[in-house]
Structure 1
Amino acid sequence: MDAYSNIVKKVLNQGQIKENRTGVNTIAIAGAMFEHDMDQGFPLLTTKYVPFALVASELEFFIKGITDKNWLQDRNNHIWDEWCSPAKVAYGHDDETRKKMMKERELGPIYGFQWRHFGGGYQAWDKAPVPSGVDQLKHLVATLKTNPDDRRMIVSAWNPMDIGQMALPPCHYGFQVTVINGRLNLLWNQRSVDTALGLPFNIASYGLLLTLLALESGFKPGTLVGFLGDTHIYENHVEGVTQQLERKPFTLPGIETTAFSSIFDWQYKDTVLTDYRHHPAIRFEIAV
């Protein structure tokens, strides 16, 4: 997938050393753009293994508006393990704090809550918000079906009122859907981009969301576009991404969804990849 490889090359060639809250320096550039035509295949990297089940189960987690870390863990998804709501455990790097953060299940009003209850009064993972807030995703789907030429089909996860309660402020903070010539396009915005570890997941997640919204509305999948802000590679990831660039990509996989009735009833196991050929996995340490 050249669009991804070109971003990696740009960061490596033009990036500057930058400090950040994690204590691990990055090589960073001030913005990039990702673009992929879904007719070319599903945008999952082939130069390393990317576990699609983790991408899909996290997306279901967001769509359902869940904020309980245990829901993911019950599905063998551990990508949120290191984080929790700062209202429960104040963020810190020391071992004792990290252990407490790992044990706490409360993530606070993160992505899915904002998608489904924006402006709602967040209480806890197991309590309904009061008031319930705005169901942005439901509104987007309804507009897509009744007025697909609308240019206001936007879902935002960036809510300054709730950031202090979130396990992590949204990295990908909003997305927009447009329909042009019978094709559904999805454009997402991202403030902070972990190019080696996070971006492949973000690309696949929004590619899957685009696919599901196309199924929901009857339009053909179109173009996936990412507007990327602080785009960086952690210094301890350079060796891994350099190895990726040396590998010859395989043809992109296909994607199939069975028994689809609604995006709101969809479960991650309903969608599978077809013909996913890939190089071996590359381990990248996560910066918390």
Structure 2
Amino acid sequence: MATAPAIRVEAASAHPEWQYLELMRRIWEAGDERVDRTGVGTRSVFGATLRFDLADGLVPLLTTKRVYWKTATREFLWFLTGDTNIRSLCTQGVEIWTDWPLDRYRKATGSDISRADFSRRIVEDAAFAAQWGDLGPVYGKQWVDWATYEPVGDGVFRPGPGINQVAQVVESLRTNPGSRRHIVEGWNVAELEAMALPPCHKTYQFHVADGKLNGLLYQRSCDVALGLPFNLWSAALFVRMLAQQCDLEPGELVWMGGDVHLYLNHAALVEEQLSRAPSGEPRLAIVRRPASMFDYRIEDFEVSGYHPAASISAPIAV
């Protein structure tokens, strides 16, 4: 097993990003090597926790490689619309979800269409997008339109009104901040098979103490190299937006992972990133308070103090 470059553990208390780097190193050096769903293979540990202070605008935006926070923000805002088709993402140049419909299209048609051409057709052809661009009832559908069913007699049910979990959490934070039920859940067992990918960042819980809003994200499966940098940013963004809407101060983000892994074909990324040291204190400002959680725009978010090292590319496992 390859040994990752040593990192300066003594600096761990000086910068919160060392938590992430230490987790990456632990997985790479001591993780259990396993065959996974994608066939690529991973090294994995089970159970991990990271904690980040969100006071004074601080955000867990990694500096040891560039994280495209605007892309992650566009994805998060897309979740809040409840949309499950990649067309609006592709229109914005966001290709996070394109590989799954592309893989389905190639298998169904035998075409070797390029990713760029597939995305272009999704944007330009509404009928093509309707047929090939839908992901099934993934994150946003569960967050803002969880399916319900109403009995109509003789054991027959019809679709009922969807449940907007995000709107419910906003209301409960405002009216009953001490509740232990401030939860947004994505793991809808009845609909998992219809999803392009079952939710990885599956459960969000929020907690109010001393006028501060804390958030916890439980992630059942976590790609530490490619996914976690986006997940940390988006979870912190969720806390910040809720705090603004509920007249609370941001507190702490707690991240918890179940199967926490690195893909075996990410060796170059891991070794390069572990050779770098974090620096700076990125901060997020929300420059406008919209009428609701569902009215934010990308222009409402500004990041300062972010001077990351260069981005590091690696293949995504579909």
State the shift of 1:19 in Å.
0.5
Q: Tell me the residue number matched to 2:142.
A: 114
State the shift of 1:95 in Å.
6.7
Q: Tell me the residue number matched to 1:51.
A: 68
Q: Tell me the residue number matched to 2:44.
A: 28
The one-letter amino acid of 2:30's match is: Q
Q: Compare the two structures and name the one with the higher helix fraction.
A: 2
Match of 2:219 among 166, 190, 202: 190
TM-score, length basis structure 1: 0.90
SS of the aligned residue for 1:150 comes to: coil
The one-letter amino acid of 1:164's match is: E
Aligned residues with identical type, % of pairs:
35
Q: Distance in 2 between matches of 1:93 and 1:199?
A: 31
Structure exhibiting the larger radius of gyration computed from Cα positions: 2
| Aligned 1:255-266 pairs, distance under 5 A | 255-261=284-290, 262-266=292-296
| Aligned 1:199-278 pairs, distance under 5 A | 199-261=228-290, 262-278=292-308
Q: Tell me the residue number matched to 2:176.
A: 147
**Contact 2:105/2:111, CA 8 A, preserved across alignment:** no
Between stretches 244-253 and 171-180, larger displacement belongs to 244-253
Go from structure 1 to structure 2 and tell me whether the alpha carbon gap of 1:219 and 1:166 turns closer, same or farther (over 3 Å shift).
same
**Contact 1:190/1:228, CA 8 A, preserved across alignment:** yes
Match of 1:42 among 28, 50, 59: 59
- Post-superposition, which runs of at least 4 consecutive aligned residues in structure 1 deviate over 4 A? 89-103
- For the pair 1:2 / 2:31, whether they are aligned, the reply is no
For structure 1, the residue ranges without an aligned partner over 5 or more in a row are 122-128
**Contact 2:55/2:249, CA 8 A, preserved across alignment:** no
For structure 2, the residue ranges without an aligned partner over 5 or more in a row are 1-16, 123-131, 150-157
| Aligned 1:127-146 pairs, distance under 5 A | 130-146=159-175
Aligned residues between the structures: 279
Go from structure 1 to structure 2 and tell me whether the alpha carbon gap of 1:156 and 1:195 turns closer, same or farther (over 3 Å shift).
same
SS of the aligned residue for 2:22 comes to: helix
Task: Give per-residue Cα distances to partners, 1:161-217, cap 9 Å, x unaligned.
Answer: 111111110011110010111110110111111000000000000011111111111
Q: Distance in 1 between matches of 2:108 and 2:232?
A: 29
Task: Give per-residue Cα distances to partners, 1:4-24, cap 9 Å, x unaligned.
Answer: 112112212220111012110
Q: Tell me the residue number matched to 1:125.
A: none
State the shift of 1:244 in Å.
1.0
State the shift of 1:117 in Å.
1.1
Task: Give per-residue Cα distances to partners, 1:243-287, cap 9 Å, x unaligned.
Answer: 112112111211111221222111122112112110001001100
Between stretches 258-267 and 184-193, larger displacement belongs to 258-267
TM-score, length basis structure 2: 0.82
| Aligned 1:89-128 pairs, distance under 5 A | 89=104, 96=111, 104-120=132-148
